Structures are given as C-alpha cells and as structure tokens.
Amino acid sequence: MTRQDCIALDAADPLRVHRLQFALPDNLIYLDGNSLGALPHVVVERLHATLSQQWGTDLIRGWNRHWIDLPTVVGEKIAPIIGAAPGQVICADSTSVNLFKLLAAALQLNPGRTVILSQDDNFPTDLYMAQGLSALVGEARCELRQVPEAQLLNSLNADTAVLLLTQVNFRNGRCHDLQALTAAAHRAGALVLWDLSHSAGAMPIHLDSWHVDLAVGCGYKFLNGGPGAPAYVYVAARHQAAVIQPLTGWMGHAAPFDFDQDYAPGAGMLRFLCGTPSILGLSALDAALDLWADIDLEQVRLKSQQLGQLFIALVAAEPTLGVLDLLSPAVADSRGSQVCYEHQAGYAMVQALAEAGVIADFRAPNILRFGFSPLYTQFVDVWDTVVQLTSLVSNGTYQQPRFQQRGLVT
C-alpha cells in the first residue's frame, strides 16, 4: 500500500461526494467525528435563517410557523437511520436525561424486577444515571448491577428488569451484537435499553426488526448536529401507552397550552418530551439530518471498516509504532468506527498530533482514539496520519513540556 493507492481508493469511493458537504478546514485531518461531527454547510444556512428570519422577524409567531413540531420532525428523520418505523422516535433533551426517563420506564414495564444490568466499563453517564435513579428510589426498587462484558449473559436472571448497554464501547471501540443480546435479554424476561451514541450514523441498525424495546442516542457525533445537539429517544410502539416517564414536564402533556394543573401524558412519543426544546439546536440537527436522505448505511459501514483496517495495517507495518498497543478488536466486524491504542504518553501524543494538523482524541487513562466518519474521512487521511504519528514518535516530539499540559476537555 502506498499513498497513491490511498488516493486511488478515494477516487473510487462512492461516498466521496459527501465530503464536499462539510466545512472542513484546509490542511487539517479530522479523526474525531466520533466525538463531535464536522459542520455541514447546510447547518450554517439553516441557523442563519432561524436567527434572522424565524426568530428575528417572526418572533413568537415562530412557534406555530416553524418550531413546535420540530422534536417530532427531527425524530422521524432519525428513525430510518436506526431502523425504526414512524411514530417511535422523538428528539429531546440530552442523552443523560433520556436515559433517566427510559430506565424509570423500564422498571414500570417490568414490575417485580429491580435490577438494571450493565457492564462495568459502560459509558460513565449511563452508569451515573442508573446510580442516580437507584439513590432516588432506593435499592429495594432499583439496583444497578455491573459485571464484566464476558459475564453479561450469565448475569441475566429473574431479577433483571432491563439490560443497559452501549452498542459501541467508547474506550476500545468493541461492538456488541445488538440483535443477539436483545434476544438473550428477552429470553430471560428482561427489557433492553441501548445507547446508540457511538454507532448511529456509522453502521446499519435495525431496532424494529431486532425487537429492541428502548434506545437513546446523541445528535452531535456521526449525525453532525453540532456541539450539544439534542438527543433522541426510541420507544417501541408496543410499550408507549404503558408508561408515564417521570420527568413530566409541560411539553409532554397532552395539551400543554391548556395549562391544566394536573399532568396528562401526551399521545405516543409526545409523552417523552419534558421542557421547552432548544430550537437553535433542533434546527441545526434537522438540517444536518437532510444529508442522510440518499446515503446507504451499508456503504457507510463498509468504508468505516476499510478505513479502520487500513489504519491498523499501516501502524503494524511501521516498527517505530510498535510502542503502541492495539486496544480495539483487530476484526472489523467486532469494531465500531474507531481504532484505539494504548500508550502511557497517550495524551501528549494526541496533543502533538493536533499541532501537526491531525485531530484525534484521548481517553483516560492512556488511550489514543482515532475516529473515522465515512462521509468525510478519506483513505489518504489515514495514510498521512500514520506518517505524522510515526514522525512524532521517532523524534520524541510528544515529550516536549507543552504537550503535557491538560485542558479541561481531552
């Protein structure tokens, strides 16, 4: 493999035209779309219209003219990306808040069972929200039980109310078999709640046909909705009428502008709303999702796997990079759209890469994480990243003091 070979792969890439839809800086390789997606040009145009025309001219009239239905409209655009039929996805709040809603809902749907089962290295906010719910209602009604990934199947039992998992592990990129684990949970009488934040938009997902009960995800990673973009909630149609989620804010009311003193849940997914939505965030995500109208997620997944395999092969072929330990699965089918390595100076290496024009990210305690967003990551980007990484390791550039100073965000 040569750099010219990578250029040829990019020329033959059926997804290559989508890179032009993003405002990517010149002379910068961006391998962090699994943390924050790049800015689509259409989002700039939409936000300008939302600010100047909808807010600036329409003022309060904007609610009826443009905004009040946005949570539903955006949810319906997300639905086909995660394999959901209409009427089962709504966009609202943050992933953390939505997790709280759905964990409480799962306990309602599975009375007599009290355990939230999760793996011990699940994404921290997922665990935090389960811990918070348990602290609120007491362990007699809600107990978080954390086990190693290898023990998940054997830990499903008559006490398990819901299996709470993230499809792609944020630290190592390992990808769960969502369909198989969902089926196993159901055989044990448990529900499943999947966090799709690190997978939606990077691979095909079939929530309906895989009989998933509940799911959440964020809008700012592979969906490119912008920093702090609203999250989304999926509740299978068969469960919607049976629960009232605990955050009974006015937007989830059946008739919010009647201003009744007592809560009555809205129909279907409307009951999973809470407070007044952030219209600027929703508008940005709404525009970003229009890019997905003609995208084949099978092509996205194939390119994602090819980019990852190329990266692993190039690193393995460079003796200088033998100091890096591969943390992600080497087999593409077992990995999401990221490749992770371990090194005790991982943070400094990521900072030195950024100065050299390659943006990756770091996860404590020692993980270099490289994310591949197939809509705009190129094969030649992978080649050039390995060249830069080899250079800074060979020269010891990352050992310079300025690369040791940590910011609040890593």
CA angle 82–30–48, rounded 5-degree value: 70
Helix (H, G, I), strand (E, B) or coil at 265: strand
Nearest to 119 by CA among 71, 80, 73, 156: 156
* Residue keyed to tokens 């978080």: 144
Distances (CA, A) of 270 to 213, 275, 280: 17, 12, 20
123: DSSP letter:
-
> In DSSP terms, which residues pair with 253 in a beta bridge?
265
Instruction: Judge whether 298 and 69 are in contact, CB under 8 Å.
Output: no
Helix (H, G, I), strand (E, B) or coil at 35: coil
123 flagged as catalytic: yes
E-strand ranges in 236-366 read: 325-326, 338-342, 358-359, 361-363
369 flagged as catalytic: yes
220 flagged as catalytic: yes
In degrees rounded to 5, what are phi and psi of residue 217? -175, 165
From the list 369, 372, 376, 381, the catalytic residue is 369
CA angle 320–321–324, rounded 5-degree value: 140
From the list 30, 220, 362, 379, the catalytic residue is 220
10 flagged as catalytic: no
In our burial notation (b when 16+ CB lie closer than 10 A, e otherwise), range 145-172 reads bbeeeeebeebbeebbbbbbbbbbbbbb
128 flagged as catalytic: no
Q: Following DSSP, what letter does each residue of 52-84 receive, concatenated?
A: IIIIIIIGGGHIIIIITTHHHHHHHHHGGGGT-
From the list 221, 271, 301, 303, the catalytic residue is 221
What distance separates the 2 farthest-apart alpha carbons in the chain?
69
From the list 22, 30, 100, 123, the catalytic residue is 123
Helix (H, G, I), strand (E, B) or coil at 42: helix
Instruction: Judge whether 371 and 35 are in contact, CB under 8 Å.
Output: yes
From the list 93, 195, 213, 361, the catalytic residue is 195
Structure tokens at 34: 């699994």
Which residues are identified as catalytic? 123, 195, 220-221, 369
